[in-house]
Structure 1
Amino acid sequence: MSGWLVLIALQPNLINLIASYAGFLLLGVVGAVFANATGAGGGVVFVPFFNQLNFSPESVVATSFAIQCCGMTAGAVTWHRYYRHHTERATAWRALPGGLMLTIPASLCGIWAAQYGGHLAPSLAFLKGNLNALHLGFGVFSIILALAIFASIPLLRKTAFVSRFTQADVLVLPFVAFIGGTVTAWLSVGVGELVAVYLIMRGFSVTMSIALAVILSAASVWGAIAYHMTISQAIVWEVVMFAGAGAVIGGILAKRVVLAFSPTRLKLFFGAWVLVLGASGLPVF
């Protein structure tokens, strides 16, 4: 907080800066609470909002990544502390370290393949995706994600959870994370959502699945941000300055939201929210 206040104080035209961008502080809080309470990336909130502000497609993705580097990191640290202090020996949480080892490298490979593949080999240019179709792609992905969230709700009644990965999981999880990483490079969301839904549908603890998805997403966005800082250079830093600070607050609060409400209510609320946001991204709206 002290560092952020110093950074703000050093900015030229401070009054105009605060008047123009202070509202993004609340956006950061809301986006990070959503992201870290569900395992979904904060881009689910940031992308449609920045689209409405007519940011360029590259700026939408780059700025979303930069904000998530703040919020998802705060959430990852918070969830990791919860794991170490409260659940490290709990049977339902045994899969967390192994799950991260299976998914983080694969997710980073997917992100880097999408970002740099076209530069290294023309045949990999298709992995870059089509940024001009960002709004449509985000809408379709969000609707599919919402339907998957709704489908997983009956599984939340379980009281006995899977605690170990099968040989099939060891093969499938890296594949899911790679695909999710590629989608994340396009939309700034994807890998955390796909992995969390997979784990929940496989019968793992909902809370553990969310924690794993948050830590995975934090590692993924840090792996993705270098491209946008050095090559695309499309980050809107004034927005990040305020929304990033709000995202840190939201990342810390999110764990309390998850533990305060029932998983079923959380999934219903956030699934409905994602569905509405996704539908708004379709050309018919």
Structure 2
Amino acid sequence: MQLKRHLPKMHPIIFITVFVLIGLWLQWALNTPNIDQLFFSHSGFLLLGICGAIFANATGAGGGVIFIPAFSALGFTPTEAISTSFLIQCFGMTAGSMTWCHYYFKQHHQDDSWQGFPVMVACCALFSISGFWTSQFASLSAPVSLHVSFSVFSIVLGAIIIINSRKKTTQHSLTSFKNSALRDCMFLSGLSFVGGIITAWLSVGVGEIIVIYLMLRGYCTKLAIATGVVVSAMTVWSATPITLSADSVANVEVLLFAGPGALLGGLIAKRIALFFSVIKLKIFFALWIMLTGLVMIIVA
């Protein structure tokens, strides 16, 4: 009986979604030629998907923070790496966003410090998706190579978080959110639009920007992470007309194994995030993205 109490409870909607996704994956796998050979040559990507989704959904950063350096090291072209990363995140970020939304409705629906969650998610998602598609229609390209862009972006954001983690911030209450809602939504709209453009270039960006802004503004860290995860999920799904098109260069063999791994990682990531303190989450988040940025510069 005691063991049963400690087992994680899964909301029926989450359970059904996971069940359907697993069923679709099994059908896909069984219809894939040479699946037995692929299992031995590509099963390592299952672990990559798990690790990427755990990090992404426990910190609010997109899974590309893990996937892009890994795919670059494997010799993927920038377009192939970004497209594959987007599709894997459709698994992981979706699972993570469902668990964070369930956590919000179950634990913090009446909590003053979380009252801005639905508004910020809607606002950020709208402008992030707009930024992504503006980048596509206007054919905007990164000013420098994928390696350099990713590295600079990661190191700068990591440094900002570390500096901020040393400062004491006052948590926002419902009253303070109402007083600053318009200003925060305006800033978040602009930042999310830019984040959507950066995400189109690097497969990461908008989640990290949202998390950092909300942290700097003194919002609950877990609220910031949840917002970043949900907005990132909506953004990567908005890209599926490109990533699933006939012209897509995404590596479907990698996706076949990394996708289910990301789904599993996304389901357990929230529990890992809740296990650590706010300061530890900030430091871990910052050090990891700085490390990946430095590795990308060295490898380039």
Work out whether the TM-score is over 0.5: yes
Q: Do the aligned partners of 2:142 and 2:149 also contact (CA within 8 Å) in 1? A: no
Structure 1: stretches of 5+ with no match in the other structure: 119-126
- Separation in structure 1 between the aligned mates of residue 58 and residue 189 of structure 2, nearest angstrom: 23
TM-score, length of structure 2 as denominator length: 0.87
Residue pairs, 1:9-28, within 5 angstroms: 9-28=30-49
State percent identity of aligned pairs.
Answer: 41
Say whether 1:46 aligns with 2:67.
yes
TM-score, length of structure 1 as denominator length: 0.91
Please name the residue that 1:242 is paired with. 257
- Separation in structure 2 between the aligned mates of residue 53 and residue 29 of structure 1, nearest angstrom: 18
Tell me how far 1:234 sits from its aligned partner: 1.1
Please name the residue that 2:149 is paired with. 137
* More off after superposition, 97-106 vs 63-72: 97-106
Residue pairs, 1:1-285, within 5 angstroms: 1-118=22-139, 127-129=140-142, 133-155=145-167, 158=169, 160-163=171-174, 164=177, 165-230=180-245, 232-282=247-297
- Separation in structure 1 between the aligned mates of residue 87 and residue 101 of structure 2, nearest angstrom: 21
| Structure 1 SS opposite 2:171 | coil
Structure 2: stretches of 5+ with no match in the other structure: 1-21
- What are the Cα deviations for residues 159-183 of structure 1, in whole angstroms up to 9, with x where unaligned? 6324414332122110000000000
Tell me how far 1:239 sits from its aligned partner: 0.7
Tell me how far 1:231 sits from its aligned partner: 6.8
Q: Which amino acid is the alignment partner of residue 245 of structure 1?
A: P
Is the alpha carbon distance of 1:172 and 1:232 closer, same or farther for their aligned partners in structure 2, counting shifts above 3 Å? farther
Q: Do the aligned partners of 1:62 and 1:225 also contact (CA within 8 Å) in 2? A: no
Q: Which amino acid is the alignment partner of residue 264 of structure 1?
A: I
Tell me how far 1:251 sits from its aligned partner: 0.5
- Separation in structure 1 between the aligned mates of residue 35 and residue 242 of structure 2, nearest angstrom: 29
| Structure 2 SS opposite 1:282 | helix
- What are the Cα deviations for residues 236-260 of structure 1, in whole angstroms up to 9, with x where unaligned? 0111111110001110111000111
- Separation in structure 1 between the aligned mates of residue 256 and residue 147 of structure 2, nearest angstrom: 24
- Separation in structure 1 between the aligned mates of residue 202 and residue 299 of structure 2, nearest angstrom: 20
- Separation in structure 1 between the aligned mates of residue 83 and residue 106 of structure 2, nearest angstrom: 34
